[in-house]
């Protein structure tokens, strides 16, 4: 739980170990990276830079298997019974650790994102239409 004082590389490897312990499939991590990359690429108003992309993907991965989750019953004097109480505490995902996690996944993906992202955007556009950041088509483009 206490990761203070450890290097960013070590904390990133611990985060990946938590993902393995939680039985998160590598395909899901790949899907997160490709999905985030496609969303950022398709949003013309987004920060389309490498660092933003890898950090956003790492944030989503970090949430899959992090945190402390406790459950207990608390006595309620009004009703004479117990009430369920849940506590969910997540470690802050920030800084160099996220960059390291994103770099590792980006390296593992290799050139896959260069070929998959345009296909993902095309499928998304076919199913849901253009992203709101895209300008509407001009009247000349809509004429037959």
pLDDT tens digits for 35-68? Answer: 999 999 998 888 889 999 999 999 999 888 777 7
Which pLDDT value is given to residue 46? 82
- CB burial class (10 A; 0-12, 13-18, 19+) of residue 33? buried
Rounded to whole angstroms, the Cα distance separating 20 from 22 reads: 5
Residue 8 pLDDT > 70, yes or no? yes
Q: Two tokens at 125? A: 């556009």
Q: What is the pTM of this model?
A: 0.74
CB 117, CB 42: distance < 8 Å: no
CB 41, CB 127: distance < 8 Å: no
Going from N- to C-terminal start, the domains of the chain cover 8-132
- CB burial class (10 A; 0-12, 13-18, 19+) of residue 102? buried
- Higher per-residue pLDDT: 134 or 128: 128
CA atoms within 13 A on the CB side of 34: 21
How many beta carbons lie within 10 A of that of residue 28, not counting itself? 13
Tell me the pLDDT band of 70, cut-offs 50, 70 and 90: confident
CB 34, CB 112: distance < 8 Å: yes
Length of the chain: 144
Q: What is the mean pLDDT of the chain?
A: 86
The stretch 127-139 carries a mean pLDDT of 81
CA 93 to chain centre: 11
């Amino acid at each position: 739980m206490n990761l203070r004082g450890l290097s960013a590389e070590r904390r990133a490897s611990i985060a990946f170990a938590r993902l393995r312990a939680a039985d998160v499939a590598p395909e899901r991590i790949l899907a997160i990276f490709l999905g985030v990359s496609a969303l950022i690429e398709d949003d013309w108003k987004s920060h389309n830079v490498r660092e933003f992309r890898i950090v956003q993907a790492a944030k989503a991965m970090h949430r899959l298997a992090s945190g402390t989750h406790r459950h207990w019953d608390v006595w309620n004097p009004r009703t004479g019974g117990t009430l369920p109480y849940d506590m969910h505490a997540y470690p802050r995902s920030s800084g160099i650790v996220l960059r390291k996690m994103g770099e590792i996944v980006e390296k593992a993906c290799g050139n896959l994102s260069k070929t998959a992202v345009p296909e993902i955007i095309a499928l998304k556009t076919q199913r849901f239409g253009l992203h709101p950041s895209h300008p509407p088509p001009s009247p000349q483009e809509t004429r037959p």
